[in-house]
Structure 1
Amino acid sequence: MAGLFFGIFIGLLLPIQTCLNSRLRQSVGSPYLSSLGSFFGGTLFLAALALVVEGTVFFSWDDVAQQPLWIWLGGLFGVIGLTTNILIFPKLGGVQTTVLPICGQILMGLLIDHFALFEAHRAALTPLRVIGAVLVLAGVVGAVTLGGQRISRQSSKTREARSNTGALRQVSANSSPQAEPSLWGWRALALGTGFLMASQSAINGHLGVLIGSPTQAALVSFTVGTTVLFLLALVLRLKFRVRVPDGQKKNPWWMWFGGFLGAIYVFGNAFLVPLLGTGLTVVAALVGMISGSLLVDKLGLLQAPKRQVGLAQVLSLVLMLGGVALIRLV
């Protein structure tokens, strides 16, 4: 039972991590620099963990010398996923930022299992797994549609209030389709992020088998991600400057701990899978992620904007969770 609660706990960390990284972006001024700070912090934590668990951060090159190049892509996919979450979080809120990547993860996971991609064990599609996928999609559509309606109503009220002060013309210019992509474009991007996250898990899992250590595999992934982001910052000539956003007196200390939470999540999965099995670990983490995203939206945690969360939206998430259970546990 303790392992199950720990699984829920590590899932709860992911929406909070997105909040921290989004706040860090406000201070450093770039999603790439925010991701770099997060990945660097996670790398330091995993390096320390590898020293404690394995006694070293290094592994034998002979174990991976003859392997395909895609075993190193886990860190790159993680960079894309984390940076995308930072970009879409202000647009969609905590619930949709969590739900849509989960949907992509489930769909890509089915493809990986069915076709044994990335050297994964093959698990053919069954009628129950297909039903589970349909339930996931139905729950996602419900949660996204209801959430989108609330965002639209809030935007309409904002435009109406501003028009009463004589600013309607300026607001209309700033909110035109040419100036702002549609919400469905952001949702599609979030869904694609889930595809990459599922691929990252499969790649890192295979790398862990090759080198004999999930902790070192996670460290490799974070190190690759940190390197990619550092090179990208050099190419774009980004300068790491920390400023205090307008309207705030100082930067919160907690904005630096996004990478730490992400590293705990990676370690937690590696620790729990042998104890609970992959299916129960994933379901427990999803319960935590969904619960965390609801809390973030409802309470406006860690300076996140508050959004309404209705009963119908909660029921949609429960429906999605039932589908996840069918896919993972049957």
Structure 2
Amino acid sequence: MPIQTSANSRLRQSVGSPFLASLVSFLVGVSTLLVATLLIDAHLPDLSLASGQPGWLLTGGFLGVVVLTGNIFLFPRLGSVQTVVLPITGQVLMGLLIDNFGWFDSPESPLSVARIFGALLLILGVLGVIGFLDALVRRTPVVGNSSDAGPQLWLWRIAGIIFGMCSASQTAINGRLGVVLDSAVAAALISFAVGVATLLLIILATRTPWQLKRIDDGPNPWWMWVGGFLGAAFVFGTAFLAPIIGTGLTVMVILLGMMAGSLAIDQFGLLGAYKKRATPIQLLGLALMVAGVAAIRLF
């Protein structure tokens, strides 16, 4: 996901709109998953298998767009730290609730002291990886891009948690859709198709201009187009894993991969990123995340 984010961020510079960049990414993902579905299943998804199923079964793609759009609005109001931490808190919380109550027809995993402890370790690790704990040690500012204050700021913070809960719900829904269709890749294809339809409506409603430009008169890098392929792999992975290991653990393993990937991109300056060496506290945070996932998985 960090590589996908880097690719889509570069794509956004060339097309000029986050919604248009997302649409292009989703279209690449749909094309990838269409080919994968035909190769693996040898036929298009049989939506008749979903007849009689609850309406939420096809909402995974819509929730994906909600999460994407939500982060666009959160960042200028809450700053980078809260935009990362609040949705992750919502993801972890919702993942544990889905597992505990078996929502979205997910396999049940009762809430235990070990799972709660593991979730807290993971969130603490995230705070370490994104530099929150390091900033506290150095006594430097860690939050705040926004001039909003009072109740309005807290509404955005609550929204950040809700966006994270939507992300965990998307994982569970796509996992259930994969079970119903008997194909995780078909579930990912349907999810991406719904996302494309949602983004098209947004672009038409906002009258977003279609454009493709070069940055600094140089050629556009080839890798800016791979975000959709990586997004397709990600959605397929969540649809495949959630029914097997549960939504909560799937969400937490994903978060571990995201943080490790982000550190690697910064450490080595990949995909045009500025080199930024990982600090000891960031590495400690990554170790805490591993410990948190282990606590949930083993106990």
Shorter-chain TM-score tier: 0.7 to 0.9
Deviations 1:111-146 (Å, cap 9, x if unpaired)? 101121111122111111111122123223333414
What is aligned with 2:120? 134
2:267 matches 1:298: yes
- Out of 129, 145, 165, the residue aligned to residue 195 of structure 1 is 165
Normalising to structure 2: TM-score of the pair? Answer: 0.81
- 1:58 maps to a residue whose letter is P
Deviations 1:73-107 (Å, cap 9, x if unpaired)? 100111223445567789639xx877765443222
Contact 2:45 2:181 in 1 (8 A): no
For these two proteins, the number of residue pairs brought into alignment is 291
Structure 1 residue 202 displacement after superposition: 0.5
2:83 matches 1:77: no
Greater Rg, structure 1 or structure 2? 1
- Out of 1, 7, 19, the residue aligned to residue 32 of structure 1 is 19
Contact 2:134 2:281 in 1 (8 A): no
Separation in 1, partners of 2:236, 2:74: 25
Contact 1:128 1:326 in 2 (8 A): yes
Separation in 2, partners of 1:20, 1:206: 29
Q: Which runs of 5+ in 1 are unaligned?
A: 1-13, 156-174
Change (3 A) 1:99 1:312: same
2:35 matches 1:51: no
2:207 matches 1:255: no
Deviations 1:15-54 (Å, cap 9, x if unpaired)? 1000001111111111111111111100000000000111
Separation in 2, partners of 1:32, 1:176: 22
- 2:164 maps to a residue whose letter is G
Separation in 2, partners of 1:150, 1:305: 24
Separation in 1, partners of 2:250, 2:237: 9
Change (3 A) 1:152 1:31: farther
Deviations 1:125-170 (Å, cap 9, x if unpaired)? 1111111122123223333414656999699xxxxxxxxxxxxxxx
What is aligned with 2:107? 121
Separation in 1, partners of 2:116, 2:35: 42
What is aligned with 1:6? none
When the two chains are superposed, the root-mean-square deviation of aligned CA atoms in Å is 3.6
2:197 matches 1:210: no
- 1:212 maps to a residue whose letter is D
Deviations 1:209-257 (Å, cap 9, x if unpaired)? 1122111111100000011001111111112201123x35222121111
Separation in 2, partners of 1:208, 1:152: 47
- Out of 76, 93, 116, the residue aligned to residue 107 of structure 1 is 93
Contact 2:178 2:239 in 1 (8 A): no
What is aligned with 1:19? 6
Change (3 A) 1:89 1:115: same
Higher relative contact order (CA 8 A, sep 6+): 1
Change (3 A) 1:132 1:272: closer
Structure 1 residue 307 displacement after superposition: 4.2
Normalising to structure 1: TM-score of the pair? Answer: 0.75
2:278 matches 1:309: yes
2:61 matches 1:92: no
Q: Which runs of 5+ in 2 are unaligned?
A: none
Give the 3-state SS of the residue equivalent to 2:94 in structure 1: helix
Structure 1 residue 281 displacement after superposition: 7.1
Contact 1:106 1:324 in 2 (8 A): no
Contact 1:98 1:293 in 2 (8 A): no
Structure 1 residue 188 displacement after superposition: 6.8
- 2:129 maps to a residue whose letter is A
Moved more, 76-85 or 209-218: 76-85
Separation in 2, partners of 1:255, 1:150: 36
Separation in 1, partners of 2:65, 2:259: 22
Separation in 2, partners of 1:59, 1:263: 19
- 1:39 maps to a residue whose letter is F
Contact 1:18 1:89 in 2 (8 A): no
- Out of 42, 45, 53, the residue aligned to residue 67 of structure 1 is 53
Change (3 A) 1:152 1:42: farther
Give the 3-state SS of the residue equivalent to 1:243 in structure 2: coil
Give the 3-state SS of the residue equivalent to 1:110 in structure 2: helix
Separation in 2, partners of 1:103, 1:77: 17
Change (3 A) 1:42 1:268: same
2:277 matches 1:328: no
